[in-house]
Each structure stands twice: as structure tokens, then as C-alpha cells.
Amino acid sequence: MAVTSANRYLINTVDGHNLSYFNPESAILYTGNHGIATSSKTTCPFTRSMDTPWQWLSYPRLQRTGNDPVVATTTLEDLNPIPYNLNFYSNEDGNEQFIVRTYGTWSSTPFNEIKSTKGYKLNIQDQGTFTHTMYGTDLYLNTPIQLYRGQSGNPENWIGYFMPMSLEPEDAFVGVWEYLTKIQVQDWTMTKTSTGKWLSPASVAPLEYGDCVIVEVSQNCTLYWNEDGEPSEGEDRAGTEYFGYTEFASYIPWYIETDSLEDVVEIGLMANDSCIGASVVMPGDTLVEVNAY
């Protein structure tokens, strides 16, 4: 018997299989075999739109064996059209490095490898809308990711989310949740306070296939993404209309309690006369995150 859930994953209860699911958005079919540790997968090229200058992303689908690295510049040339000017950032071993493409030429490549377990930041400096197509096969779901309390004095781990289903953060990180102190993606940040309480703003959404997730931990540990997690769908939050600002490579999250605010639709952070970040306030929000760039 097979049923299709609201989030378009196929649950297969045929004898001899534990789980099969199809995600049309990432063009992948997984079939888990009963009693066998591995799974089969069928993939086809997956194209994603890049309509903002900054993209925090990972590459779950590559033409490689296992989690072997591939050439970064070759993968970036699968952008369409290929930008004349871009910067591509890595945080390998805690050291931030970046590849530069200037006027159509790769002018600086201090690193030149991409791995599916890693997260990256891409800054396209040309105007326009771009797409990127990934080819190959997706990384096996049970591939481990090593998390470090610090490397080279840097507490950040830039990791790739390669699960085909979207999961809430607490569900995705179930095996290492007690060690996490910070979870950050391009649009939101969760932070654990000194009392052990999580600051979780209204903008927190499920992790999605191809995300770059930056995490900090209290001790070294090994992460396995939760294959048994319940797929989840997030709520779309509109962009601001009354405040304009420019994104950069990183941001500082500000958390603003909105319980006592009435008729507020947007909150902006100002430095002198310039807006450095803003956020929409939606009905029911009690804690709003505004990111300062």
C-alpha cells in the first residue's frame, strides 16, 4: 500500500521495505530495504533558483563516490548563466577562505574542493537571476558529520543538509541536540542561553535540502541527520516593504519581544540614517528576529 502525504512524500508499506519516499522538489526517490543498512536511490539533475546576491547553500548531489570531494570551480560553472564576478566562501578546518571569479576568470583559489557534508556561502556580484544545476547522486542519508567545539579558534561548523525531507531543527538534530549551543541559517538563528533555554524566534523554519547550516557545540560530537524524522513544511514569510537594506556574508541576530506591540507590521534596525536590517511582524509573533548586517 502507498499513500502520499501533504508534503508529497511517498510512504511504502509493501513487505520487504521499511520506507520509500519521493520528493518531487529535489527530484529523488529513496527506497530503504528491510534489514539492510544501505538504501537505493534514483536521482536526476536538480536545478535551484538563485535570485538574491547571497546564497547559503550545500551540494548534496554531486558526481563522485561516497563523500569524496569534487572540484569547486567546475561545480560553480554549472551556474546559468555563469557569473563574471563571484566570491565563494568555505570554513574548512575553521579557516574562512574564498574563491574569487573576476571578469570571467578564476583569479584566486586558495581551496578548490566541495564536499556534500559541508556548507558554503556564495556571493554573486552580477545583476540578474541565476540558476544552479546539480548532477550525480545524493549523499547517503547515514553519512556522519563531525562537529567540533572549535577549530583554529573558530567555533563555527558549516555543514550541509542533505536529507530529502524538510525537518524542524530539533527533529533534524535529535542525536546531538544536548550539545548544540547555536543553529544558524541564512534567515534565522536559534541560540541557547546560559540557563539552557533556547531563543527560538518566529522565523525559525524547517531545514531544507541543500541548506548550509552553521552550528556551534559544547563538545566534539558526531551528527547523523535523523532519517526517522517527521517531514515538516514551514510558513512563508514575506520580505519587508518599508525598510530596505543590503545583506553581507554574516549577520548579528537581534531578538525583539513583540507581545506588547500593537499594529506593528515591520521592525527596522537603524545605524545613523541607514537601515542595517529589518523583519516583518506577523500575527501571533511573540519573538521576532531582526538580523543586523
- Which pLDDT does position 29 carry in this prediction? 53
| pLDDT at residue 41 is higher than 80 | no
Give the mean model confidence (pLDDT) for residues 197-222. 97
| pLDDT at residue 88 is higher than 60 | yes
Give the mean model confidence (pLDDT) for residues 49-76. 97
| pLDDT at residue 178 is higher than 90 | yes
Q: At CB < 8 A and 24+ separation, what contacts does 275-281 make?
A: 275/243, 275/244, 275/245, 276/245, 277/245, 277/251, 278/240, 278/242, 278/243, 278/244, 278/245, 279/203, 279/240, 280/237, 280/238, 280/239, 280/240
Give the mean model confidence (pLDDT) for residues 254-279. 92
Helix (H, G, I), strand (E, B) or coil at 27: coil
- Which pLDDT does position 109 carry in this prediction? 87
What is the pTM (predicted TM-score) of this model?
0.86
CA–CA gap between residue 283 and residue 275 (Å, rounded)? 23
Provide the pLDDT confidence category of residue 25 given band limits of 50, 70 and 90: low
Can you list the alpha helix ranges (DSSP code H) found in 96-195?
169-172
Residue-averaged pLDDT of the chain:
88
Judged by average pLDDT, the poorest of 10-14, 41-45, 80-84, 108-112 is 10-14
**Could you give the C-alpha distances from 105 to 66, 68, 71, 75, in angstroms and in order?**
30, 26, 16, 15
- With a pLDDT cut of 90, the percent of the chain lying above it is 78
